[in-house]
C-alpha cells in the first residue's frame, strides 16, 4: 500500500520553528491535549504538517522535557541501556526521565559513542575493541552469552547482575511458600525457574537473548522491577503497596502505576537487566495474577526497605545454580 507523505502538501513550512509557531502549538495542546496531529495544524493555525507538529511537541515543547547537559548518571544509564537494547532509542528514552529518544540518539552519536571508542570499547557490541574482555564498568554482560556454559557465566563478573535479584526473590519465594502454601510456590517456581528472564509479548527472541545470561528462559514472559528503587522505598506510594488494605484490583493499579511515565519511567524496567549496583528483580508475569503471592511480596518489600544491606554480600549465587525445588529454595537461605 502506498501512502502519500503527510508533508508533501504545498505551502507547508519546513525547517526551524519560530517562537510564534511554538506558542501556537503549546496553546493548542494545552487546550485540547495531545493527539489528532493530522488535523492539529489547521485547527491551531499552523502551516506545518501534523508530523512536524508532533515531533516539535514531543522533542522540544513537552513540559516534562529536561533541557541542558546530560548528567553522569544519565550517561551511565544510556550506555548501560544501549548495551542491552542497542539502537532502540525509544526504549532507552523510556528509562531516562525527561529525555527524548532523539536527544539520546544525538547524544550517543556525538558524545558517548566516541567516548567508548576512546576507551577501547566497541560501541556496537560494548566489548573491548582489542579482543580482550573488558573490565570497564561501562560494559555489560556479553549479549551473546545467554546460552553459554555455566562456567562462563560464573566467571563473568557481571554475573552478579540479577543475582542479587535471584537471592532476594528466592527469599521472597521461600518466605511466601512457608506462609502461604507449597502449591502456589510451585506454580511460581514452576517451569524453568521462578523469576526468569523476561520478554514482553512483543519482545523478539533476539532481544531476549540480549538479556542477562543468568536468567534467560526465552519463552517466559516477565517483568522487571528495579530492586534498589523498591528497597530504598522511594518509588512506592503507600497506596500502591499497602499490606493493610488488600484490594483484588490492587495489582491492576500497580500496573497502572508502573505504566505511568512520569512516576515510573525511570524505575520500572520491563525489558532490562541492569548491572553494577543497579539490580533488577525479575518476575514472571504470572506472579501478578497470584494475588496472594503479590500480597506477600508487598509485605516483604516493605520490610526490606530497612535491610538493603542484607544483599550486599560479596558472594552471590545465580538462580540457575539454585535447586528449584521448594526444599532447595528453603535451604538456600538457610
Residues of the shown chain interacting with DNA in the complex, contacts defined by CB under 7 A: 1, 3, 5-7, 13-17, 35-39, 48, 50-52, 54-56, 58-60, 87-91, 101-103, 105-107, 109-111, 114, 202
Closest CB to DNA among residues 92, 299:
92
User: What is the spatial distance between Cα 21 and Cα 63, in angstroms, rounded to a whole number?
Assistant: 16
Name the minimum Å distance from CB 55 to DNA.
Answer: 5
Name the minimum Å distance from CB 149 to DNA.
Answer: 31
CA 122 → CA 126, 136, 140, 198, 273, distances in Å?
5, 12, 12, 26, 20
**Residue 324: partners with Cβ closer than 8 Å, 6 or more residues away:** 189, 193, 194
Closest CB to DNA among residues 62, 154:
62
Do the beta carbons of residue 271 and residue 207 sit within 8 Å?
yes
Positive or negative: CA dihedral 37, 43, 44, 47: positive
Closest CB to DNA among residues 197, 265:
265
Closest CB to DNA among residues 102, 186:
102
Closest CB to DNA among residues 261, 306:
261
Closest CB to DNA among residues 67, 315:
67
**Residue 220: partners with Cβ closer than 8 Å, 6 or more residues away:** 192, 196, 197, 198, 199, 284
User: What is the spatial distance between Cα 332 and Cα 177, in angstroms, rounded to a whole number?
Assistant: 13
**How many angstroms separate the first and last alpha carbons of the chain?**
63
Closest CB to DNA among residues 103, 138:
103
Name the minimum Å distance from CB 44 to DNA.
Answer: 13
Name the minimum Å distance from CB 294 to DNA.
Answer: 26
Name the minimum Å distance from CB 103 to DNA.
Answer: 5
Name the minimum Å distance from CB 99 to DNA.
Answer: 10
What is the DSSP pairing of strand 222-226 with strand 280-284? antiparallel
- Element containing residue 187 per DSSP (H, E): helix 182-189
Q: Which three cell numbers stand for residue 227?
A: 530492586
Q: Residue 240 — left, alpha, or beta (φ > 0 → left; ψ -120 to 50 → alpha)?
A: alpha
Name the minimum Å distance from CB 20 to DNA.
Answer: 12
Amino acid at each position: 500500500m502506498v501512502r502519500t507523505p503527510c508533508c508533501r502538501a504545498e505551502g507547508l513550512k519546513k525547517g526551524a520553528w519560530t517562537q510564534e509557531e511554538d506558542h501556537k502549538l503549546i496553546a493548542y495542546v494545552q487546550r485540547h491535549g495531545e493527539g489528532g496531529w493530522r488535523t492539529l495544524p489547521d485547527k491551531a493555525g499552523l502551516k506545518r504538517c501534523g508530523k512536524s507538529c508532533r515531533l516539535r511537541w514531543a522533542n522540544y515543547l513537552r513540559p516534562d522535557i529536561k533541557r541542558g547537559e546530560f548528567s553522569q548518571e544519565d550517561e551511565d544509564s544510556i550506555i548501560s541501556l544501549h548495551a542491552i537494547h542497542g539502537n532502540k532509542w525509544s526504549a532507552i528514552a523510556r528509562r531516562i526521565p525527561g529525555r527524548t529518544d532523539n536527544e539520546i540518539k544525538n547524544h550517543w552519536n556525538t558524545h558517548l559513542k566516541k567516548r567508548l571508542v576512546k576507551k577501547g570499547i566497541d560501541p556496537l557490541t560494548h566489548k573491548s575493541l582489542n579482543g580482550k574482555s573488558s573490565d570497564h564498568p561501562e560494559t555489560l554482560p556479553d549479549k551473546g552469552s545467554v546460552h553459554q556454559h555455566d562456567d562462563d557465566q560464573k566467571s563473568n563478573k557481571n554475573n552478579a547482575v540479577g543475582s542479587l535479584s535471584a537471592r532476594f526473590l528466592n527469599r521472597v519465594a521461600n518466605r511466601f511458600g512457608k506462609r502461604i502454601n507449597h502449591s502456589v510456590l510451585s506454580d511460581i517456581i514452576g517451569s524453568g525457574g521462578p523469576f526468569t528472564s523476561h520478554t514482553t509479548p512483543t519482545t523478539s527472541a533476539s532481544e531476549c537473548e540480549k538479556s542477562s545470561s543468568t536468567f534467560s528462559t526465552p519463552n517466559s514472559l516477565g517483568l522487571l522491577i528495579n530492586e534498589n528503587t523498591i528497597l530504598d522505598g522511594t518509588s512506592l506510594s503507600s497506596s500502591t503497596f499497602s499490606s493493610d488494605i488488600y484490594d483484588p484490583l490492587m495489582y491492576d493499579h500497580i500496573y497502572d502505576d508502573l505504566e505511568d511515565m512520569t512516576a515510573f519511567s525511570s524505575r520500572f524496567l520491563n525489558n532490562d537487566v541492569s548491572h553494577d549496583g543497579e539490580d533488577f528483580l525479575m518476575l514472571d508475569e504470572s506472579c501478578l495474577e497470584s494475588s496472594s503471592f503479590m500480597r506477600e511480596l508487598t509485605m516483604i518489600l516493605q520490610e526490606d526497605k530497612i535491610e538493603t544491606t542484607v544483599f550486599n554480600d560479596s558472594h552471590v549465587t545465580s538462580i540457575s545454580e539454585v535447586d528449584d525445588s521448594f526444599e532447595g529454595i528453603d535451604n538456600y537461605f538457610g
